[in-house]
A = this chain, B = another copy of it.
Amino acid sequence: VNVLIVFAHPEPRSFNGALRDVAVATLRADGHEVEVSDLYAAGFKAVADADDFALRADSTYLCIDLEQAAAQEAGTISPDIRAEQGKVARADLVVLQFPLWWFGPPAILKGWFDRVFTRGFGYRSGCKYDTGLMRGKRAMLSVTTGTSADTYAADGIDGGILDILWPIHNGLLRYTGFEVHAPNLVHMPHRMSDTERAAELQHYASLLHQIDDQPTLFFHPSSDYGTDERLLAHVTPASGFQHRAKQPSPIDQDGPS
């Protein structure tokens, strides 16, 4: 199959770089076509702004999604965006390789989401989740963290890692129609011995070697939702993230202490 690896780390010789290299080598050895978007090496523009639109639909007021839709339709979207969209369109599997910075993707990767998944390419009216424009494609995150697996446990001080990744898993990938594999996570590679790092790379190679058998994440199908887009009364929340409003509210009405 065709694989796109989006790589978002400033140091090619980092552990993130090693994970990317292992992925490229493993997938190619298995006969897959692999493209890599090395965002730092390309100097990828992170910020969605007026410069993305050579011809403006409305030159007096910048509404990003309306300009995106107009530029997609007219074929005037910025060439760097079009190139990335071409890679996504060709891919059957998209792998995002990045370090977790402040509980999210590095800005250069967030910018790749903001700029590449335009209205018109990434979504449009009536096309989201089950009817998303990327349906038929799969995606997977490969993420390193700076703190331990315990801190990212569901009852850890940082919060559950799958919950923290929901904005990407559900918000970008499932929203646009991807089927999403469970992520490959490596905690604190900077504290590992060379032997431990080699074992992690070997584990990742094995995972990719059997990518078609890798677990996927469950998201409720659209039939589980009412017209208000909330889970129907008889549906038990099963995404691990959604819940009935029975959990404690974190809002302390007393104000600052």
Chain B nearest CB, measured from A65 CB (Å): 8
| Bound-state Cα–Cα, A231 to B159, Å | 10
Q: Which B-chain residue is minimally distant from A233 (CB atoms)?
A: B155
A11 to chain B, nearest CB (A): 4
A151-B229, A167-B167, A171-B104 given; A242·B50 CB < 8 A: no
Q: Which residues of B contact A113 (CB under 8 A)?
A: 101-102, 104, 107
Is the beta-carbon distance between B46 and A108 smaller than 8 angstroms? yes
A198 lies within 8 A of chain B by Cβ: no
- A160 close to chain B: CB less than 8 A: yes
Q: Count how many chain A residues have C-beta atoms less than 8 Å from C-beta atoms of the other chain.
A: 93
Nearest B residue to A225, CB-CB: B157
Q: Which of A204-257 contact B (CB under 8 A)?
A: 212-220, 222, 225, 228-231, 236-245, 247-257
Q: Are A166 and B157 in contact (CB under 8 A)?
A: no
Q: Report 27 cross-chain contacts, Cβ distance below 8 Å, ordered by A residue.
A: A10-B49, A40-B49, A46-B47, A47-B111, A48-B101, A48-B107, A102-B113, A103-B172, A107-B113, A110-B110, A151-B229, A154-B243, A154-B244, A155-B245, A156-B230, A157-B222, A164-B166, A179-B257, A214-B256, A215-B252, A216-B254, A217-B252, A218-B252, A219-B250, A237-B248, A238-B248, A240-B248
